[in-house]
Amino acid sequence: MSRLSRRTGLVLMWLSAAAACADGQPEQARTSRLQSLSEVQALEIKPRALQIRGWKTLTGTKVLFVRTSDLPMFDIHVSFAAGSARDGSLPGLAATTFSMLNEGIPGKDLSAIVETFDGLGAQWEMDIDHDRAVFSLRSLSDPAKRLPAMDLLTRIFSEPSLSAQRLPPVKDELRAALIAEQGDAAGLASQSIKALLAPDSPYSLPVYGTQWGLNAMTRAAVEDFHRRYYAARHAQITLVGDLTLDQAQAISLQISNALPKPPDALVSSAMATPGNVQSSHLELNQLQTHIALAQISVPRRHADHTALYAASQILAGGSNSRLMNELRHKRGQVYDVYGASVNWAGGAGLLTVTLQTGSSMSDSTVALVRSMLNDFLRQGPTAPELEHLKRRLANRNVLTSASNRHILARLVEINRYDLPLDLDYTMQQVQKLTVDDIKLAMNRHLSVDRWVSVTVGPSVEQQPLPGPEVAPIGQAEEDMCRADPGFVAS
């Protein structure tokens, strides 16, 4: 199991009891009252009424909390501005420090930590990216389980051993991770796009650093990084679940008071400065070619972000997006297309489109996607496309308020980007958009000549794309999933 992203198990006995209760319900009570699918669109779907409570501790930690009492459990997400963008002159310093936190605390090594969480029925996870280091815990709300679980989690990032004996194996694991990344086509494409768009920034390097940086790593550098960046003022805490406000506040104070309190304020990482290279190919022996296109956009809090997010979803988000209709439904060339509008590189936005296709048609696929991107910038979306997106996001908004994990994800975004304290904010902003809003926002911030592209795959003889008439709508799905004609599902 990797130390870079670790998870322990959670066993909840009440799940089986809930299932038993469900099985005991009368058949009539479980029967749907819908008589046809056409009734679904006529239903007024309302999200749960959830109140966000927010505060900042005296030591500077920002906290958001939503109480849900459906299940006797809670989720906590603690993140620090301690991602690899803070590496400085030693690439890999953030990842090394993060991994060292996973190696033990006074009195408990890694195996003892895992055993303790398992014994409490708690789920523990860690992750790191260019911007933040994240620690999360799912625990039962019962004080007998909650209190020791929170004590252990707090000690992991406030009292790590950071022992000299554990530094060499951590460095070896990070070296192995760097080597493994060289065979990950999707990861290579994503990292290469960032290198094209911000060649002189830490975002151009892998999160795990470089072999040179890891070779030069010292325990003193790790200790200093932990003291500077795993500090109360650099932390954000997000809580969702069956806790009272007093309990949530007590948890936030427990964590915040245990963290280092350095005198220096956090210096913002530099904004991305695009390079001059517009395209790149990385050779990798595999059956298909991964393709990524991107350009720098606006920050998450910018007034035009919602319009550009909507544009990315209409273009490449979901099964009915423009690129999916053209590349899969009409031509049968891809399985899926992904579009995103995210923050990165010192707060700048990044608009991305990613897909994979047959290597012999990668060049023609990139050319078609570029052409469609340029047409989209000039023409904007259609009214039906925007209405479809509004319905899809409204329905998804209801689904993502149904579980603590989904609520937590939305609350973390609000916490991270200092958004209004409203779980429905983004969806509501999309509902207000017009076609002209999206078109004008795209033309203010995007340009046809600023798209950069990366392909990762084998160099093979290139072929033209088949015409859209080759795979009319309805046939692409059959082409993408070929079953034995004699197979019958039971």
Looking at this protein, which amino acid is placed at residue 101?
L
pLDDT at 253: 98
Q: How confident is the model at residue 233 (pLDDT cuts 50, 70, 90)?
A: very high
Q: How far is CA 236 from CA 140, 255, 343, in A?
A: 22, 10, 17
Other Cβ atoms within 10 Å of 85 Cβ, number? 23
Instruction: Place 266 in a pLDDT band, splitting at 50, 70 and 90.
Output: low
Is 29 a residue whose pLDDT tops 90? no
Averaged pLDDT, 323-348: 88
* Residue 367 pLDDT: 95
Q: How far apart are the first and last CA of the chain?
A: 37
For residue 442, give every residue at least 6 positions away whose Cβ sits within 8 Å of its Cβ, in sequence order, or none: 307, 308, 311, 376, 377, 380
- Give CA separation, 244 vs 94, 166, 240, in Å: 35, 39, 10
Cβ atoms within 10 A of the Cβ of 230, count? Answer: 24
Among the listed ranges 26-35, 65-74, 285-294, 479-488, which one has the minimum average pLDDT value? Answer: 479-488
Residues recorded for the chain: 490
Which residues have C-beta within 8 Å of that of residue 29, sequence separation ≥ 6? none
**pLDDT score, position 34:** 42
Q: What is the pLDDT of residues 408-427, one digit of tens each?
A: 999 999 999 999 999 999 99
The answer for residues whose C-beta is within 8 angstroms of residue 5's C-beta and 6 or more apart is 125, 126, 127
Determine the Cα angle at 381 with ends 376 and 384, to 5°.
145
- What one-character DSSP code corresponds to residue 186? H
Instruction: DSSP for 374-400, please give it.
Output: HHHHHH---HHHHHHHHHHHHHHHHHT
Q: How far is CA 63 from the centre of its chain?
A: 20
Give per-residue pLDDT as tens, 278-292.
899 999 999 999 999
Per-residue b/e over 302-321, b at no fewer than 16 CB within 10 Å?
bebbbbbbbbbbbbbbbeeb
Domains of the chain: 52-258 (3.30.830.10), 279-480 (3.30.830.10)
Q: How many whole angstroms separate alpha carbon 92 and alpha carbon 89? A: 9
485: confidence class by pLDDT, cuts 50, 70, 90? very low
Q: Is the pLDDT score of 16 beyond 90?
A: no
Percent of the chain with pLDDT over 90: 75
Give residue 342's pLDDT band: very low, low, confident or very high (50, 70, 90). confident
Sign of the torsion formed by the C-alpha atoms of 255, 257, 260 and 264: positive
CB 452 within 8 A of CB 294: yes
pLDDT for position 124: 93
Range 116-119, long-range pairs (CB < 8 A, 24+ positions): 116/148, 116/152, 117/8, 117/149, 117/152, 118/8, 118/9
Confidence check: pLDDT of 166 > 50? yes
Residue among 398, 405, 404 nearest 427 (CA) = 398
Q: Are 109 and 152 in contact (CB under 8 A)?
A: no
Mapped to the 3 state alphabet, what secondary structure does 8-30 carry? CCCCCCHHHHHHHHHHCCCHHHH
Q: For the whole model, what pTM was predicted?
A: 0.85
pLDDT of residue 275: 65
Instruction: For residue 347, give the DSSP letter.
Output: T
Minimum mean pLDDT range among 115-119, 151-155, 267-271, 330-334 = 267-271
In this predicted structure, what is the pLDDT of residue 483? 35
Asked if residues 116 and 108 have their Cβ atoms less than 8 Å apart, the reply is yes
pLDDT of residue 276: 75
Provide CB contacts within 8 A for 152, sequence distance 6+.
Answer: 105, 108, 113, 116, 117
Neighbours of 382 (CB within 10 A): 12
State what percent of residues in the chain have pLDDT above 70: 83
**pLDDT band at residue 271 using 50, 70 and 90 as cut-offs:** low
Q: What is the DSSP letter of 267?
A: P
User: Which pair of tokens denotes residue 9?
Assistant: 């198990």
Q: What is the mean pLDDT of residues 462-475?
A: 68
Query: CB 46: neighbour CB atoms within 10 A?
Result: 9
Q: Is the pLDDT of residue 1 over 50?
A: no
Q: Round the average pLDDT of the chain to a whole number and report it.
A: 86
pLDDT at 56: 97
